[in-house]
Chain A
């Protein structure tokens, strides 16, 4: 007797959503799959366990979009962690470069530059995820305190880093209308 073999879809996500109970983990899987995210239920490694034997493996790059969706869907989760280098958190450090009339703020791989006088965003650069050229178009020519937040409209870790840069620009702009 011949058996038909269904091709198993491969998935390597690199990130885990951790829960303190089984029910929200199962709900999270359902909500994310409905939104077309590639995810799977897994057992978290012991060092990452947060009181629940189930976690949802996600493509770590999609963390901001996934977090937003889980919050909108009222799914309680403890945190999101990378599978490798699990002690590493998201980079919080920013670097500021003064270009005279302009200030550039760098957060990880993303850079955002605004004009000191007007507070207007004149450029974004760096990154490589598909939402970054969208952010570029959305942010250009807007004042740092009026621009949309990349964490609200982006989907990837690149957009989250751009958000960090924008946050710092807002603080610099508020603090002294410049650097």
Chain B
């Protein structure tokens, strides 16, 4: 079972756990309606589009409303810490929340007690709190963009806003930033750097780069990084190795952007709507996954 946890921008939405479905540009879970926009909504939508194509169970989600004051985030931390062993997810993907180092530490301790350790994926602020707490190597997958990669490379920064100028200014030299992040033990086992060149890095070694199709106008579109994390989570839960899932996700995301003929004004839901078509046309060729219902 894949479990995605994160906050959504709905004030006072209570902690909600359940199987997610979608209609149009909205997600539905436990009687709540969540817009498919930048953030956890886009990530869940991409994961759901992928599992639907593969004819797999839809993701389980743990969501709470939070507009930045941290209440929903705290509810998610507490619920996961108390219940992760019993929920026993195969993949646990963490996304938007208020970074809290102490709570992240407690969560990792709880995960360590699971009978079977989930594949642990972190993006957005869950990645910030993992790095800030010095727990990055405990994670299996991080999915930073270039600025977030500079944050991982800076040994002291606890948020990308506090990255040292010299490191931030080095974003064009991505292999150096990657090396620094692993040197300082601020990297997950696998890192997928999302950018003009997508880097797939395993244990410090760049194992793949994805550059085609080149769709630079995707960068301004809020949520087009979240979708990569959602697709990776879904393919890992289907049985692919994280680095294989990462390459497919990077390619699929770019191809969906191309098919949607995006401009900087495009909404992410238009990109997500293209995923089934992308998988139908290219998944077999890219990955050898030519049937649905899981990966052999």
Contacts and interface: CB of A to CB of B under 8 A. Distances in A.
In the complex, which range does the number of interface residues on chain B fall in? 35 or more
Instruction: Tell me the interface secondary structure of chain B in the complex.
Output: loop
Contacts of B219: 97, 104, 111, 125
Contacts of A85: 154-157, 162, 164
A117 to B, nearest CB: 12
A160 B162 CA distance: 11
Interface in B1-49: 7-9, 35, 37-41
A82 B98 contact: no
B147 A126 contact: yes
- Point out which of B41, B72, B220 has the most chain A C-beta atoms below 10 A from its C-beta: B220
B279 interface: no
Contacts of B162: 60, 82, 85, 88-91, 157
Contacts of A158: 125, 159-161
Contacts of B159: 14, 60-61, 157-158
A128 B265 contact: no
A159 B158 contact: no
Given A122-B264, A124-B222, A133-B38, A108 B161 contact: yes
B223 interface: yes
Contacts of B165: 91, 93
Interface string B210-238: 00000011011111110000000000000
Interface of A: 10-15, 36, 38, 59-62, 65, 82-85, 88-91, 93, 97, 99, 101-102, 104, 106, 108-109, 111, 113, 115, 122-134, 136-137, 154-161
